[in-house]
C-alpha cells in the first residue's frame, strides 16, 4: 500500500506542473495508482490486505475514496456477489443486467460511448451498485447495516463535494480529470473482458 500512496503523491505532484509533458506523466501515474487503489479496495473488502483485521477497514476507506466507491457499500455488495456468482438474477452486481434495455436507442448509446471512450459501464456500475441508496436499502434489511451504508456514502460524497468547492471545479478537472477518465476507461475494458469469460 505504501507504493500506491507514493505513486499517487507523485502523480498529483507532477499533475500540478504547468509543463504539458510533466502533467501528462502525472495523469498516467495517477490513473495507474487509481487502478491500484481499486485492487486495495478489493483486498480490504475480503479482509486479506493485512493479516491484522482491524487495519483492513481504515485502508479500505482510503482505497474507497480513490476508487470512487464507499468501502462499506463495496464490502457488503461484493460479498453478496461472491455468494451468488453465476446467478445473474440474484447477484447484486449483475441483477440489473437481466432487465437492461436492449432496444436500438440503448445499443446506440452504448456504441457511441464506446466509440468516444466515454466510460459508461464503470460509471453505471458504481452508481447502480454502490451509490444507489434505495437499492442498497432493498438488499440489506438490518437497520445497523443500512445506517452504516448511508453514513459511508454520505461522508464520502460530502468529502468529494467539499473538495471540489474548495479547490474549484476547473482545478479538480485539470488535476484529476484525465487520470479519472483513464482509470474508469480501464475499468470499462476489464468489466467487458470479465463479462466475455
Q: Which domain holds residue 18?
A: 2-196
Q: How far is CA 150 from CA 21, 32, 144, in A?
A: 41, 29, 10
Is there a contact between 79 and 42 (Cβ–Cβ < 8 Å)? no
Is there a contact between 4 and 33 (Cβ–Cβ < 8 Å)? yes
Would the pTM count as exceeding 0.75? Answer: yes
Per-residue pLDDT of the chain (197 residues; tens, 9 = 90+): 899 999 999 999 999 988 999 999 999 999 999 999 999 999 999 999 999 889 999 999 999 999 999 999 999 999 888 777 777 777 777 777 666 567 888 888 888 998 998 999 899 989 999 999 999 999 999 999 999 999 999 999 999 999 999 999 999 999 999 999 999 999 888 765 555 44
Eight-class DSSP state of 105: H
Residues in CB range of 17: below 8 A, 6 or more apart: 23, 26
- Provide the 10 A C-beta neighbour count for residue 29: 21
Angle at 190 between CA 86 and CA 179, to 5 degrees: 145
DSSP letters along 8-56, please?
Answer: HHHHHHHHT-SSHHHHHHHHHHHHHHHHHHHHHHHHHHHT-S-SSHHHH
CA–CA distance, 105 with 96 (Å, rounded to integer) = 18
Q: What is the pLDDT of residue 100?
A: 59
Q: What is the pLDDT of residue 13?
A: 96
85 Rama sector, left if φ>0, alpha if ψ -120 to 50, beta otherwise: beta
Cell 474548495 -> residue: 166
Q: What is the pLDDT of residue 130?
A: 95
C-alpha closest to that of 175 among 66, 13, 4, 3:
13
CA–CA distance, 77 with 59 (Å, rounded to integer) = 18
Domain count for the chain: 1
Amino acid at each position: 500500500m505504501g507504493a500506491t500512496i507514493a505513486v499517487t503523491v507523485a502523480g498529483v505532484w507532477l499533475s500540478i506542473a504547468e509543463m504539458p509533458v510533466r502533467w501528462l506523466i502525472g495523469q498516467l501515474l495517477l490513473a495507474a495508482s487509481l487502478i491500484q487503489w481499486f485492487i486495495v479496495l478489493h483486498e480490504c473488502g475480503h479482509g486479506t490486505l493485512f493479516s491484522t483485521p482491524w487495519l483492513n477497514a481504515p485502508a479500505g476507506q482510503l482505497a474507497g475514496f480513490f476508487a470512487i466507491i464507499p468501502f462499506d457499500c463495496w464490502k457488503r455488495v461484493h460479498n453478496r456477489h461472491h455468494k451468488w456468482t453465476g446467478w445473474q438474477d440474484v447477484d447484486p452486481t449483475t441483477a440489473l443486467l437481466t432487465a437492461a434495455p436492449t432496444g436500438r436507442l440503448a445499443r446506440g448509446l452504448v456504441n457511441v460511448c464506446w466509440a468516444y471512450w466515454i466510460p459508461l459501464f464503470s460509471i453505471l456500475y458504481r452508481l447502480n451498485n454502490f451509490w444507489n441508496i434505495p437499492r442498497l436499502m432493498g438488499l440489506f434489511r438490518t437497520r445497523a447495516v443500512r445506517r452504516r451504508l448511508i453514513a459511508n456514502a454520505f461522508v464520502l460524497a460530502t468529502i468529494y463535494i467539499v473538495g471540489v468547492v474548495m479547490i474549484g471545479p476547473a482545478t479538480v478537472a485539470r488535476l484529476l480529470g484525465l487520470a479519472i477518465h483513464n482509470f474508469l476507461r480501464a475499468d470499462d475494458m476489464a468489466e467487458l473482458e470479465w463479462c466475455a469469460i
